[in-house]
Amino acid sequence: MNPFDSRIVHFVNSFARRYWILDSTVAQIAVMDLLIGAGLMTMFWLAWMEHGEESIENRESLMATLFATPFAVLFARVLALCLPYRERPLHEPLLHFQTPLTQNPDWLIHWSSFPSDHAAVSFCVATGLWIVSRRLGGWAMGYATLISLPRIYLGFHYPTDIIGGALVGMGTMFLCRAAGLRSGARWVLNYLDRRPAFLYGFLFVFSFEVAEMFNSLQRILFLGVDAFHRYPRWQWKEFAAPLLLSGVLSIVAWVIWWWKHHSVTERPVQTIQD
Domain annotation covers residue 51: yes
Strands (E), the chain: none
Determine, yes or no, domain membership for 243.
Answer: no
Query: Structurally, how many domains does the chain consist of?
Result: 1
Residue 195 resides in a domain: yes
Enclosing domain of residue 101: 3-238
Instruction: Give buried/exposed letters for 109-144 (b at 16+ CB in 10 A, else e).
Output: eeebbbbbbbbbbbbbbbbbbbbbbeebbeebbebb
SS (H, E, C) 175-225: HHCCCCCHHHHHHHHHHHHHCHHHHHHHHHHHHHHHHCCCHHHHHHHHHHH
Please check whether residue 230 lies inside any domain of the structure: yes
For 13-66, strand residue ranges (E) read none
Residue 136 is assigned to a structural domain of this protein = yes
pLDDT tens digits in sequence order for the chain, 274 residues long? 688 888 888 888 888 888 888 888 888 888 887 888 888 999 998 988 888 776 777 888 888 888 888 889 888 888 888 888 888 888 888 888 888 887 777 777 777 889 988 899 999 999 999 988 889 999 999 999 998 988 988 888 889 999 999 999 999 888 877 755 667 777 777 777 787 777 788 888 888 888 888 877 777 776 766 666 666 555 555 556 666 667 677 777 766 766 666 554 444 444 444 4
Does residue 202 contact residue 196 with C-beta atoms inside 8 Å?
A: no
Q: Is residue 260 part of a domain?
A: no
Kindly state whether residue 262 falls inside one of the protein's structural domains. no
Is position 225 within any domain? yes
* pTM (predicted TM-score): 0.76
d(Cα 129, Cα 111) in Å, to the nearest integer? 30
Give the pLDDT confidence score for residue 83 in this predicted structure.
Answer: 87
